[in-house]
Structures are given as structure tokens and as C-alpha cells.
């Protein structure tokens, strides 16, 4: 099985979700199913069907999260020493060569990516273009609006 890179923060987030699913969501849906059963005829009981569907979703998500955690390769960005190169977990400050706008991203795993928070999926076009670059290098990214060029202003491991 291939390993999935994930930051320490991302692994903690998945563990917290798994704990919530097992200790809060699963017992709640079991209770909802038993209450719906107590109402009698299950063949025309919408609450029962909805609870069973919800239970299927929760059990599926538990299996998915457990699988991701078992295949996870947890990487602590603070412990990295990549010699100034952009690698998984690195925080990169970029400058758009056309507009001069500066942005800051951390390259993270798929499950923790959130562009609004500056968390960039490692398999995204921008992250793939940045991997291996150093300060002062230029990365070219094929965006929907055409080719974009970004200069790597700084690389840090925090």
C-alpha cells in the first residue's frame, strides 16, 4: 500500500474526526435507529431509512479515515531540512510576476488542503510546479486563464 504524506497537524485533524465519528456520531445514529424501530412498521418508516443511510455513511467514513491514517506518512515541517528547496510541508511565499501580488502557501496533503487558509494540495498544479524550486527560482503554472509565472520569494519549514 502506498503511503500518503500528511503533516502532523493534518494527522491530528483526522484522528479528531475519527474520535468524533466513533464516540458521538455512531452512538447517535444507533440511538436514532432504535427509536425509529420502536415506532413499529419499518417498511414505511422514513426516519428508519434516513438513520440507516446515515449509519452507512458514518461507517464508510470511519473505514476511510482509518485507512488513510494507517497509510499516512506523518511529516513534521519543523523537522525538515531540505536546504531551501520546496518540499512537502514547506511554506512558500510567492510573487505573481504579472501582477506583483504576493501569496503564502504551505504544501500539505489532500485531506488538509484549504486554499482559503493557504494550505495547498501537494498534487495541485501550483504545488507540482513548485516542488524542488529554491528562493529566486521561477515556477510556471498552467492555469485556466493561461500560463502564470511565480517567483519563489522565500521557503520556510514551520
Q: What is the CATH architecture of 77-156? A: Roll (3.10)
- CB count, 10 Å around CB of 7? 23
pTM score, whole prediction: 0.80
pLDDT digits (tens, 9 = 90+) for 100-109: 899 999 999 9
Contact 76, 8 (CB under 8 A): yes
Domain ranges of the chain: 4-75, 77-156
pLDDT digits (tens, 9 = 90+) for 37-72: 888 777 778 888 999 999 999 999 999 999 999 999
- Domain 4-75 fold is Helix Hairpins (1.10.287)
- Looking only at the bridges linking them, the beta strands covering 102-108 and 91-96 are antiparallel
Amino acid at each position: 500500500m502506498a503511503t500518503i504524506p500528511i503533516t502532523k497537524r493534518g494527522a491530528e485533524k483526522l484522528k479528531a474526526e475519527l474520535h468524533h465519528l466513533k464516540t458521538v456520531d455512531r452512538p447517535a445514529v444507533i440511538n436514532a435507529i432504535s427509536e425509529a424501530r420502536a415506532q413499529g412498521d419499518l417498511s414505511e418508516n422514513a426516519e428508519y431509512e434516513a438513520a440507516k443511510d446515515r449509519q452507512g455513511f458514518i461507517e464508510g467514513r470511519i473505514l476511510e479515515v482509518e485507512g488513510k491514517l494507517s497509510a499516512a506518512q506523518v511529516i513534521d515541517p519543523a523537522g525538515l531540512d531540505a536546504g531551501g528547496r520546496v518540499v512537502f510541508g514547506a511554506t512558500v511565499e510567492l510573487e505573481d510576476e504579472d501582477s506583483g501580488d504576493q501569496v503564502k502557501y504551505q504544501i500539505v496533503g489532500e485531506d488538509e488542503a484549504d486554499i482559503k487558509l493557504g494550505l495547498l494540495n501537494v498534487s495541485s498544479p501550483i504545488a507540482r510546479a513548485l516542488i524542488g524550486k529554491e528562493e529566486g527560482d521561477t515556477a510556471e503554472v498552467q492555469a485556466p486563464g493561461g500560463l502564470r509565472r511565480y517567483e519563489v520569494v522565500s521557503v520556510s519549514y514551520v
